[in-house]
Structure 1
Amino acid sequence: MTQTATAQITGIHHVTAIASDPQKNIDFYAGLLGLRQVKKTVNFDDPSAYHLYYGDEHGTPGSIVTFFYWPGHEARGRIGSGQTTALVFSAPPASLAWWQERLARHGVKVEHKTRFGEEVLAFVDPDEIPVEIVAVAEDSRSGWTGSGIPAEHAIRGLHTAELTVAFAAPTEALLSIEMQFRLVKREGDRARFEAGPGGSGRYADVIQAPSAKRGSGGSGTIHHIAWSVPDDATELAKQSELQESGYQVSPVMDRDYFHSIYYRERGGILFEIATETPGFAVDEPAASLGTALKLPRQFEPHRAKIEQLLPPVEVAKSFT
């Protein structure tokens, strides 16, 4: 395979999971964790399902977590190999005690861990999806403070993508060769890779778990991980490189706020490559992101019916 200078993945774009209750999801991520709800829309393939986005002030790639929700008919999944298995956020080191107290005060059980020399708070969201807040000293990103979280404690964005597979070698080869990540370090069954200039928001942790049960999709699991590229030209170059290497890659799909291609790595995890542009302010003012229901163009003629079918949701519950 011939690598081109343009086909560079710069880090994480977003992580998408599946929730069982949209209001509880909003209250947890936009309320308790203080992320900004940057978009309220529906699934491109099923307008009966909300698609909720959270991130920093502008929904910057690397800060974004998104959730699907199917009312009444989405079976619970199982977390296991062949999946992204945690939502891992970055926060200032001095803020971890503050987060521990805040989470405990609202009934969230917190476990302490240390990984790659980093202090970690581990807990689960209302659907029991694993969530972590990692103390990261070198992270210049600014978190969202509009939800009442003090600036010195605000979550800055995603820290790493946790990729759990039965056998690590094929996944590591994809990251190293076609995706041009660099191996940073190993610790036990976990290997950390970094993309672009490196640092928080640009990591991928590959976990080899041969005895783990195979994961199954459904609520309480992470659906896919999206990697970021700066523009359409880079995405097309990466699409071509992956196809040359034998990966089945989708056509480019217009997701309104970015353009995407999809493929599965050898361990079974669904990967997406998404562009940084046009961004979330393309269909509503930056000052009011996430406040109105935005529909993909093909669903706009059916807005009245879609709004009738979707369960009502409110702004995040206020937490102190």
Structure 2
Amino acid sequence: MRQNGIHHITAIAGPARRNLDFYTQTLGLRLVKKTVNFDDPSTYHFYYGDEAGQPGTILTFFPWEHAAPGRLGVGETQETVFRVPEGSLGYWMHRLVEKGVPHEVPAKRFGETVLAFKDPDGMRLAIVAVPAIGNEPAWSDGEIPAEHAIRGFHSASLLLARAAPTGAILTDVFGFTEVAREGSVVRYKAGDTALGGIVDLREAGDFLHGRPGAGTVHHIAFRAASDAVQAEMVDKLLRNHGIRTTEQKDRDYFRAVYFREPGGLLFEIATDDPGFEVDEPSTSLGQSLKLPRFLEPSRGEIEAVLPKVA
């Protein structure tokens, strides 16, 4: 069965060291790739995920040391949501308190218990307690017990003036189906995809537009199993919705095309292959700085201007 759903989510952050510490130490994600922004190699591009960096687990950041704070508004990803086993929510509440992480009281959404919190840049995150996932593989570096570790994305919540046009892209192009409504939120699900298989659209009407900056999501990427599947999606976007994508860009770990969806968000379609082990073994993912071939001749100059993180 074709796997649809979220491939990765990319956000903007402030200081690189602070970002790295929060996501690897406080949340216990694995740094699966340390590279640079291909379009601005003076800044890092960090990829966090599970042990192998599976699609549906990858949260990435462009950390600019002096990035101005962004502002949440329509046309943006409102919240990035992780999965944990049902019995682990108490552990995470205690951990957030212990680490001084701003958080809300647990709440019910679509029958699930959700713990919302923010990262050091104010990015909106949440953890959802999901039953029957305790036996799924989990990455642990030893500080967070494997039985409580995050197990990829549960969902992403998008804030929109109108939900229907974006919903049409999710269903027609990306293989999602509307499964529920709760207040102003419409939930879409990608079949039986476990990792990153849910997108919630929150309709806000005539609300303030977002402003990019630290703590905001830059783009959300959806999965394509192959170049051929990606090409089908590109064709359907143009044929059925009149939307053109960029040309395909080689990001070394996937091949990507980009477009603005009707609500104003930047969407990406990313291939599942070749993955993050293409330039380093799984045992040492994220340990050394990896550069695309076209930047390798400038490694010395790039390393000289990047902040020291480890």
TM-score, normalised to structure 1's length? 0.92
| Equivalent residue for 1:158, pick from 142, 153, 157 | 153
SS in 2 for 1:234: helix
SS in 2 for 1:186: strand
Structure 1 distance, partners of 2:257, 2:293, is 19
| Identical-pair percentage | 51
Query: Hey, what does 2:293 align to over in structure 1?
Result: 297
Structure 1 distance, partners of 2:257, 2:142, is 33
CA contact (8 A) 2:161 2:204 kept: yes
Worse overlay, 253-262 or 227-236: 227-236
Residue type matched to 1:137 in 2? P
Asked if residue 230 in structure 1 is aligned to residue 225 in structure 2, the reply is yes
Number of positions where the alignment pairs a residue of Structure 1 with one of Structure 2: 307
Asked if residue 207 in structure 1 is aligned to residue 197 in structure 2, the reply is no
Asked if residue 61 in structure 1 is aligned to residue 55 in structure 2, the reply is yes
Query: Hey, what does 2:86 align to over in structure 1?
Result: 93
CA deviation map 1:171-225 (0-9, x unaligned): 1122122323111111001111111434452111111011431011111101110
| Equivalent residue for 1:287, pick from 283, 288, 291 | 283
Asked if residue 78 in structure 1 is aligned to residue 71 in structure 2, the reply is yes
Q: Report matched runs for 1:1-320 at 5 Å.
A: 10-72=4-66, 74-111=67-104, 112-139=106-133, 141-245=136-240, 246-314=242-310
Give the deviation of 1:236 after TM superposition: 1.2
Give the deviation of 1:146 after TM superposition: 2.0
CA-atom RMSD in angstroms? 1.5
Give the deviation of 1:9 after TM superposition: 6.0
SS in 2 for 1:163: strand
SS in 2 for 1:237: helix
CA contact (8 A) 1:116 1:187 kept: yes
Gapped regions of structure 2 (runs ≥ 5): none
Query: Hey, what does 1:318 align to over in structure 2?
Result: none
Residue type matched to 2:304 in 1? Q
Worse overlay, 243-252 or 301-310: 243-252
Give the deviation of 1:76 after TM superposition: 2.1
Structure 1 distance, partners of 2:132, 2:183, is 24
CA contact (8 A) 1:35 1:147 kept: no
Structure 1 segments of 4+ aligned residues over 6 angstroms from their partners: none
SS in 2 for 1:311: coil
SS in 1 for 2:187: strand
TM-score, normalised to structure 2's length? 0.95
Residue type matched to 2:80 in 1? L
SS in 2 for 1:119: strand
Structure 1 distance, partners of 2:214, 2:102, is 20
TM-aligned CA distance change 1:90 to 1:44, over 3 Å:
same
CA deviation map 1:109-135 (0-9, x unaligned): 321221001001111000000110100
CA contact (8 A) 1:181 1:196 kept: yes
Structure 2 distance, partners of 1:280, 1:50, is 16
CA contact (8 A) 1:9 1:227 kept: no
Give the deviation of 1:148 after TM superposition: 2.4
Structure 1 distance, partners of 2:264, 2:132, is 32
Gapped regions of structure 1 (runs ≥ 5): 1-5, 315-320
SS in 2 for 1:261: strand
Residue type matched to 2:72 in 1? I
CA contact (8 A) 1:141 1:157 kept: no
CA contact (8 A) 1:91 1:156 kept: yes
